[in-house]
Amino acid sequence: MSKTAAMTSDSAEMNPIRDSSETARWQDYFQLMKPRVMSLVVFTGLTGLLAARAPIHPVLAAIAVLCIAVGAGASGALNMWYDADIDQKMRRTRGRPVPAGKVKGEEAASLGVVLSLLSVMFLGFAVNWLAAGLLAFTIVFYAVVYTMWLKRWTAQNIVIGGLAGALPPAIGWAAATGSAPLNAWLMVAIIFFWTPPHFWALSLYVTTDYAKAGVPMLPVVKGARETRKQILLYSLLLIPICLSPVLTGLGGPIYLAVAGLGGIVFLLLAWRVFASKAGDAADPRAADRALYDVTEDEKAAGAKAARNLFAFSILYLFALFAALLGEAVTGVHPLELLK
């Protein structure tokens, strides 16, 4: 190796913030925007836009979806900036760009602020200000109310903070119609009540991570048993809410089948979590370990039950909105089939 090449290599190793590959650099910035979360936000926002079944120019529709995506990415960047101290303590998140030293915290914050302003202003001027206002509220609620306050201070962080992740369908609907009627808020309600059992199922098998980071997730504060009970209660609330779009004419026969059959599976999986000992072995509140005597088989079965519910919850939400989207695109409607 030449002296110049060696010096270049040493320089790159000494400064982890400066990646030698521009492609990797852009990938780090992209990861700041939480692409997996962003893809779900875009999908539900697009569903809201098309489920409104209102005439909207394709260019304006594309702008609305783009702004929703950019706004979601902005929220993710601000979240990663502020949560870097927490992320560094958790095995699941320590590889994220900021705690891993790939992107500076101030760079993540600047990116989040700039993208927030661009997405809201562009959506307002190009489409309408109701949609822009809802997008602005969503960004502020997630980046400030949830990230900077709720997440670190209350076990109800996921319940209240879930509103931010639930709003994209209403933003999409408002972009298409300039209004946000009942059906738009029914889609919001579906995501809102889906969020607690989804994230609490995850938290049951990463409780130790949350406890180390000092995040007051429900299993850390109230214990695994209470978490399992809350998962079942929210699941029981979720299913009738998922069926309600059929009563308002938003959902058709395909949606009814998906919501009904999927809801049965969801409840079954939630019951299995409730009946298991998921999370007991890692419960930080178990001062008397005899009360939480868990065999290895019970520990494995509990973790499997929680993972199964977590995985299926993603599939269920996707299937619900895919059914609404498909019916909207194809024009399927309950009344048309009953004629």
- The domain segmentation of the chain, as residue ranges, is 22-180, 182-339
Please list, in sequence order, all residues whose beta carbon lies within 8 angstroms of the beta carbon of residue 143, skipping any fewer than 6 positions away. Answer: 74, 75, 78, 79, 82, 112, 116
Q: According to the model, what pLDDT value does residue 18 have?
A: 52
For residue 162, which of 193, 207, 116, 205 has the smallest C-alpha distance? 193
Q: According to the model, what pLDDT value does residue 51 have?
A: 97
Q: According to the model, what pLDDT value does residue 15 have?
A: 53
**What proportion of the chain, given as a percentage, has pLDDT over 70?**
89
Q: According to the model, what pLDDT value does residue 47 have?
A: 98
**The pTM is what?**
0.89
87 residue type, one letter: D
* CATH code of the domain occupying 22-180: 1.10.357.140
* CATH code of the domain occupying 182-339: 1.20.120
For residues 177 and 50, give the distance between their C-alpha atoms in angstroms, rounded to a whole number: 10
Angle made by CA atoms 308, 310, 313, in degrees to the nearest 5: 105
Q: According to the model, what pLDDT value does residue 19 have?
A: 46
Contact at 8 Å (CB) between 263 and 241? no
For residues 179 and 159, give the distance between their C-alpha atoms in angstroms, rounded to a whole number: 26
For residues 193 and 35, give the distance between their C-alpha atoms in angstroms, rounded to a whole number: 23
Q: According to the model, what pLDDT value does residue 278 have?
A: 87
For residue 78, which of 155, 8, 19, 139 has the smallest C-alpha distance? 139
Please list, in sequence order, all residues whose beta carbon lies within 8 angstroms of the beta carbon of residue 227, skipping any fewer than 6 positions away. Answer: 200, 203, 204, 218, 219, 279
Ranges in the chain, pLDDT < 70? 1-20, 284-292, 333-339
For residue 167, which of 186, 147, 143 has the smallest C-alpha distance? 186
